[in-house]
Structures are given as structure tokens and as C-alpha cells.
Structure 1
Amino acid sequence: MDCYCGSQKSYKECCEIFHKNGGKTETAEQLMRSRYSAFVLANGDYLMQTHHKSTRPTKDKKNIEKWAKSVQWIKLEVLETTVNTVKFNAFFFENGKPDVIHENSKFVKENNHWYYLGFAK
């Protein structure tokens, strides 16, 4: 099965590795892609674990999981990547209607580990 993140690799050879190793990716883009796959799988633990502690929405974990399960994920489109930002579109159906999340995400590397910070300005 192809990975949810659109990498052209199998899930087992791609995002599953990061889901099992606690998000130890080499790049911000790999982390973003693995987080997208975690949304597809409604893996709230991974989303919290890879969200930087300074911006982590721990009280919203259950709502995030519930929402992620309620939509039908279509595809991820990476538009632009820098060392610590990733601009992307995440396409999905919600209540039978197509929608898209367009985001320029910011990441930070601490102790050789990438974390999602939030929206880049």
C-alpha cells in the first residue's frame, strides 16, 4: 500500500518508520509528511509527541482525533520546503464536500529531533 503522504513509497517503508520511532526524522518535510499520515490514521499520540511542547494542544487531543476520523483524506501536496518550513495543501472531504488545508508550517530542531511549532508567518 502506498504511503498516505504521497511519497511513492509504501507506508511500511515511509511514515510507519517514524510513527514507530517517535518521529525521529531527518528533515522537517519528513516530519510534516509523517504528521499528515498520522492525521489520516487519527494517531493523536503521535501528533502530540511531534508537536513542540511550547505550542502542543494537549487538551485538544481527543477533538483532533475525532475530527481526523470524521473526514475522508484525499491527498497531500507539498508546495515548498525550506530547512524549517513546509508549505502544503492537505485535501479532504468533510460532510461530503471537498475542502483543503493550506498551511505554511514551521518546525524546530531540538536535541537532534524535529518538532512542529505551528503556522509560519
Structure 2
Amino acid sequence: MHDYYRNMNCYCGSQQTYKQCCELIIKGINIAETPEQLMRSRYSAYAAMIPQYIYATYAESTRKSQSLNEITLWAQQTSWLKLTVLSSEHITIKQFTSQTKPVLPYVHFQALYFDSQHFCLMEEKSRFLIENDQWRYLDGDIIEHSNLPTPKRNAPCLCLSGKKFKHCCALFV
């Protein structure tokens, strides 16, 4: 990956550089301490086209129904534009494993993306569990998944950056 991308703001929207944020988790230097950190790193892996990480962070039971080839194709065909975390349970691995009756934590988010034909908005409430002392993505309930109309060039951008569409997300499609 070119240093330009490593020094830009992280794909996950954290306001840190990718190099300081999700890259550390994706490369295995740090582990995701919370489900939200794992979800943000998975989003960044989609945006940076690192399908092996996405595949590896599925729970074992879910991974059986996944295909690395399908994940790779999806990542290649999709431009990820914005992640918005709506809510999440801030629970660490240690806190979760010490609970007597652990309830699976969730992350509720929206992702804006372009799939080579349409702008789309997906809203999901994802569930996570711990396997081998690390958070894993189990599954998610899709609350909304819709195609959005393409804005006119001078309209505000879909990602709510405050820029005109032509100076923002239109550059990535």
C-alpha cells in the first residue's frame, strides 16, 4: 500500500491516520479491544481491499459459509465512502469474558458505498463474540439497504462532508 494512503485519515472515520488506527489491527500489531474497533477495522479492510483480514475476522461458524473469492470480488467492485457508527456496546475482551451470562455485544452502523452502478446505504446491527481471545464478527441484522439517487454535481455530497458532490465522492466513482 502506498504511503499516501497510510498517512491519510483512516477509512473508519476516526480522525487518526490509517497507519495509527486500523492498519495496526489489520496487520496484527494490536488486537481489537472492543467490538467497535473490530468492526471499524473490518470496514477499513474492505475499503483498503484486504479480503484476507475480513475472512479471518469472521467467527468460525460464520466463516464456513463465506468465500475468500466472494469477499475479494465484493471489495474490488465497491468504493467505500463513509462509515457512521450509530451506537455500540463498549465492552472489552476482559469485561466480556468475566461476565457470568454474556450477552453478545453489538455495533449499530451505517455504511455509504458505491458498487460500480449505484450509491448505496446499508444500516446494520452486527453481533460479535470472542474466539481464541479475540473479537470475531458473528452476524448482523440488516435494518436498511437501499440504493440512493446520484446527486447532481453541485449538490451537497451524500457523505455529509460539507463539500459539493463533484469535489467529494464523485471523485471516487
TM-score by length of 2: 0.65
For these two proteins, the number of residue pairs brought into alignment is 121
SS in 1 for 2:62: coil
What code does the residue aligned with 1:46 have?
Answer: Y
With over 3 angstroms needed to count, the CA separation of the structure-2 counterparts of 1:59 and 1:65, relative to structure 1, is same
Selected match of 1:19 from 19, 26, 38: 26
Determine whether 1:94 maps to 2:115: yes
1:47-104 deviation per Cα after TM superposition (whole angstroms, max 9, x unaligned)? 1111110111565211111111112111100001024100101101123421012110
SS in 1 for 2:109: strand
The structure whose Rg is larger is 2
Instruction: Give the fraction of aligned pairs with identical amino acids, expressed as a percent.
Output: 41
With over 3 angstroms needed to count, the CA separation of the structure-2 counterparts of 1:94 and 1:109, relative to structure 1, is same
Q: Which moved more, 1:83-92 or 1:95-104?
A: 95-104
Structure 1 or 2: more strand by fraction: 1
Determine whether 1:77 maps to 2:84: yes
Selected match of 1:117 from 138, 143, 149: 138
Q: Which moved more, 1:90-99 or 1:34-43?
A: 90-99
Determine whether 1:65 maps to 2:81: no
SS in 2 for 1:55: helix
TM-score by length of 1: 0.90
Q: Which moved more, 1:83-92 or 1:8-17?
A: 83-92
Gaps in structure 1 of 5+ consecutive residues: none
Query: What residue number does 1:53 align with?
Result: 60
| Distance across 1 between alignment mates of 2:138 and 2:30 | 14
With over 3 angstroms needed to count, the CA separation of the structure-2 counterparts of 1:63 and 1:111, relative to structure 1, is closer
Q: Considering only aligned residues, what root-mean-square deviation do their CA atoms show, in Å?
A: 1.9
SS in 2 for 1:8: coil
Structure 1 residue ranges, 4+ long, deviating more than 6 angstroms after superposition: none
What code does the residue aligned with 2:125 have?
Answer: N
With over 3 angstroms needed to count, the CA separation of the structure-2 counterparts of 1:13 and 1:42, relative to structure 1, is same
Query: What residue number does 1:104 align with?
Result: 125
Gaps in structure 2 of 5+ consecutive residues: 1-7, 92-104, 143-173
